Amino acid sequence: MLSGAAASLLTNQGRATAISTNIKGIPFTVGHLARALRDRHLTSVTIVEAVLNRANLQEHLGTFTSIDADKLRDSAKQADTALDQGQDSGPLHGIPIALKDNIDAVGFATTGGTPALRHHFPNRNAPVTQRLIDAGGLIAGKVNMHELAGGGTTNNPSYLRTRNPYAPDHSPGGSSGGSAAAVAARIVPAALGTDTAGSVCNPAAYCGVVGFRPTLGRYPNAGIVPLSLTRDTAGPLAHTVDDVIALDAVLAADRSEFPQQTLAGKRIGIPKVPFRENNTSDIQLLMEDVEARLKDAGVTLVEAEIPDLVNIVNETGLITLGARIRRDLTAYLETSSASVTFDDVASQIADPFVKSWMTPFLSPTNDMLNEEARVARNVIPALRQLYSSYLRDHALDSIIFPTTPTPAGIEVPGTEDIIVDDVRIPGGIWLNIQNTGPATLWGGPGISLPAGFSAGGLPIGVELNGVIRGDKALLGLASAVEHILPATPPPT
């Protein structure tokens, strides 16, 4: 159990009720808390005590793998003293933010969710961690993840089983399930995850929060346990698009002017293959509602397919996920002065699903490496060009699709199956990345927004993908879309 003085987590009122739990009447979002701190309506100590209390009360959700309450309290006191003396460190001053357990932060183990790294304490912060700290953010602790970021359930046999705050027997998604669950449960106002094939947007959708995957390379990848550096990126999760915008500016070190947008006159594409395949009836109905809302707001919806998308995505196969792991992870271990080798990590993989798909890549053959190089050299650029041409030819601002084809499912232990609406779906775990996967290959920005609930009360997300390197334009569009979507009440 976590220690910490009780904090007042008061009942929400009005629109704020649907966004987050309040602290002394202040909505539990990065933006609201930051303003309240500067207006001295709240202190960082009060916020931190609320975080610690909420983490204690919600321990059954399996979110935090490590948290240093004394260090967090001390950091909050320092933040309050600084403000009292007129010293403002930046937009995140005094705000606690959780980190996925594959992101380096001094004083915390970076386990990558795998047994061999249980005692790996890096001696420097990842650049993304340092940017949060430089902007005044407080590191709330580390949160759980699927082992080596290699799966979509965040049921980690070596650490914790993270549960969905809206339905604890259901998956929170993954691999950043701890990040999404900690935000959804109102333990922290924001968290940082990582995304390779959908590991930020997927759990954001399942847990009813906002998750943003930036254009590949927008945020630095150093100091993060890698899965595949050709697809890996950090990504923030929060309650509102405005919070994600604030975090993106810090993480990207991009303080350029933000383009405010309205929906009238926007053009959004609706490719149906593969994005509208395997959808549950709840997902189908929700997407019809979202499309109607967009039309009412003046958006032109363009139904057009991305030519040959599935065949090109299938040509990449798992090779883009696994073939580089020995090279990339070895480099991370050496750079971070880890006391273990890649072979130590590989031999101790505990999750059966991760071990099953990753084993062929742990000692890749020359043929595998050559194939990965061919895909990186020829296929990925072709896919990137295909997507860019699709947006240009149809004069689109973005595309939209359900983040996942199903709401959060129930795992069937020892299998790749999930149960959705009492129906067992063979191999259903791979549906996690059916829709999010293509964008992680072409490398453009994507954001998942909570858009409603299934008949069973499970959150459903919709995703917008924008122009490659058009991150701010996509965030502006997402902010406008967010305002026409139904508000998302907190879990009970």
* Catalytic one of 100, 142, 266, 472: 100
What are the tens digits of pLDDT across the range 361-410? 999 999 999 999 999 999 999 999 999 999 999 999 999 999 999 999 99
**Can you give the residue ranges of every domain in the chain?**
15-482
Q: What is the pLDDT of residue 414?
A: 77
Q: Taking all residues of the chain, what is their mean pLDDT, rounded to a whole number?
A: 93
Cβ atoms of 416 and 475 closer than 8 Å: no
- What is d(CA 4, CA 59) in angstroms, rounded to the nearest whole number? 13
Q: Position 169: which residue type?
A: D
- What is d(CA 478, CA 492) in angstroms, rounded to the nearest whole number? 27
The pairing of beta strand 138-143 with beta strand 96-100: parallel
What are the tens digits of pLDDT across the range 264-312? 999 999 999 999 999 999 999 999 999 999 999 999 999 999 999 999 9
- What is d(CA 353, CA 318) in angstroms, rounded to the nearest whole number? 14
Mean pLDDT to the nearest integer, 46-54: 96
Closest CA to 207 of 440, 490, 405: 490
Phi, then psi, of 120 in degrees rounded to 5 = -90, 110
What are the tens digits of pLDDT across the range 411-427? 988 789 999 989 999 98
- Does the annotation count 175 as an active-site position? yes
Residue 3 has pLDDT above 70, yes or no: no
H or E segment and range at residue 286? helix 281-296
Q: What is the pLDDT of residue 14?
A: 29
Residue 11 has pLDDT above 80, yes or no: no
- What is d(CA 332, CA 104) in angstroms, rounded to the nearest whole number? 11
What are the tens digits of pLDDT across the range 438-448? 999 999 999 99
What are the tens digits of pLDDT across the range 195-208? 999 999 999 999 99
Cα separations (Å) of 92 from 122, 138, 290?
A: 24, 8, 32
Residue 4 has pLDDT above 70, yes or no: no
Q: What is the pLDDT of residue 255?
A: 86
Question: Which letter, b or e, does each residue of 239-252 get, where b requires 16 or more Cβ atoms within 10 Å of its Cβ?
Answer: bbbbbbbbbbbbbb
Cα separations (Å) of 418 from 407, 410, 415?
A: 11, 5, 8
In the sheet that holds 267-269, the strands lie side by side as 64-66, 138-143, 96-100, 190-195, 233-238, 210-213, 446-453, 459-465, 398-402, 267-269, 300-302
Tokens 């009970």 found at: 492
* Catalytic one of 44, 171, 175, 336: 175
State pTM to two decimals. Answer: 0.94
- Does the annotation count 77 as an active-site position? no
Pick the CATH number of 15-482 from 3.40.50.1000, 3.40.50.1820, 3.40.50.720, 3.90.1300.10: 3.90.1300.10
* Catalytic one of 199, 228, 398, 448: 199
Tokens 């940017």 found at: 131
Residue 5 has pLDDT above 90, yes or no: no
- Does the annotation count 100 as an active-site position? yes
